[in-house]
Amino acid sequence: MVSLSLMLYGGLVISVLLLFKKMSNVKSPFFKIGYFLYSRTRIGQYYFQRELSKAKQKFEHGHSVTQDTQFDGLKIHPIPMSEDNYAYLVIDQKNDVSVLVDPADPEVVQEHIDKEKATPSAILTTHKHWDHSGGNSEFKRRYRDILIYGGAMDSIPAVTNPVADGDNIEVGSLRFRVKFTPGHTVGHVVYILDGSPFNCPNSLFSGDHLFISGCGRMFEGPPTTMLRSLDSLLELSDCTLVWPGHEYARDNLEFSSHLEPDNEEIKEKLARVLQLRQSRACTAPSNMGEEKKLNPFLRTSEEKMLQILGFEQKPTVEENFAVRAKALAEIRERKDKFKYKL
């Protein structure tokens, strides 16, 4: 009797979680309950384990085919996990040290670590969601000395080194700068790898803050918070490589091209991405130059973007930020509705 009610309760909870993931209205009470269970309780972890096994049945060798990006003594190795996530193994080959970014599936990530004969010294966690932080405790068990970094505001599992905006992390010649980017979660951070020791561009590991032509959903903050966090990325140089937490480029570019059908550069990028996805190739990295130019979520300061969204009048200097935040919310809403029409 007890086990029957447990099963019924478990089934009900899983149904709530399945439904909340598909909902576009983050303000509805139903969404809030599902999100709370997912992000704050062990039920969320259980749900994530279930997602991992489903994805393994669906994709025998991962959702995408990835390639290493090799520079002078630096290797960036993307690892496809779950339905559409990426972890990254970043290797400083001269000093033979490495760092993992968001290694949520220990089983899959370990295969890649072993193949590379690496011993990771640190984990950089972008935010608390299980599909990014779900491997931390297991890796801490496997590598006792591993340091686990993550935003101090985001209750990251097994964190050993909570970080804040402007902090620096050094492992061999790998030097990362932390940028605090709340909006998707209250404590989301991104990591910027300094390319200069390797004579290459910097790399942004953007988690669920910035995607190729998209940005994360605003689960834990108003559009003004997300806008500030997105604006803070505009200082990054155009050549900065962008390594996002999910393979969302196709979906996002389909939307961008629907939003702005006369933009030839978006069409070209969509064509490139469609070509890559035909063979399930990974679409990362992008670069900040392309994102500043094509990603609608980074372009709310453009008059053209405001017109597309139906904002008739050019905002005054005083109202500019508030109008841009409204524009960001409008793009988000249109994107969420568009996705579920596909």
Q: Which residues bind Zn ion (CB under 5 A)?
A: 129, 208
Toward Zn ion, which CB reaches closer, 130 or 198?
130
Q: CB of 139: closest distance to Zn ion in angstroms?
A: 19
Q: CB of 292: closest distance to Zn ion in angstroms?
A: 23
CB atoms within 10 A of CB 114: 9
Toward Zn ion, which CB reaches closer, 154 or 208?
208
Query: CA–CA separation, 11 vs 19, rounded Å?
Result: 12
Query: CA–CA separation, 228 vs 289, rounded Å?
Result: 19
Toward Zn ion, which CB reaches closer, 208 or 330?
208
Toward Zn ion, which CB reaches closer, 78 or 201?
78
Local structure of 342: helix, strand or coil: coil
177 strand-pairing partners: 168, 192
Of 339, 163, 142, 159, give the one whose Cα is nearest residue 255. Answer: 339
Of 120, 110, 132, give the one whose Cα is nearest residue 188. Answer: 132
Tokens for 79, please give them.
Answer: 């690892």
Q: CB of 129: closest distance to Zn ion in angstroms?
A: 4
Catalytic residues: 127, 129, 131-132, 184, 208, 246
Q: Which helix (H) or strand (E) holds 51?
A: helix 42-58
Q: Rounded to whole angstroms, what are the CA distances from 13 to 21, 43, 255, 312?
A: 13, 8, 32, 45
Given its phi and psi angles, is residue 310 left (phi above 0), alpha (psi -120 to 50 degrees) or beta? Answer: left
Q: CB of 177: closest distance to Zn ion in angstroms?
A: 21
Query: CA–CA separation, 195 vs 183, rounded Å?
Result: 27
Of 178, 203, 146, 174, give the one whose Cα is nearest residue 73. Answer: 174
Toward Zn ion, which CB reaches closer, 129 or 324?
129
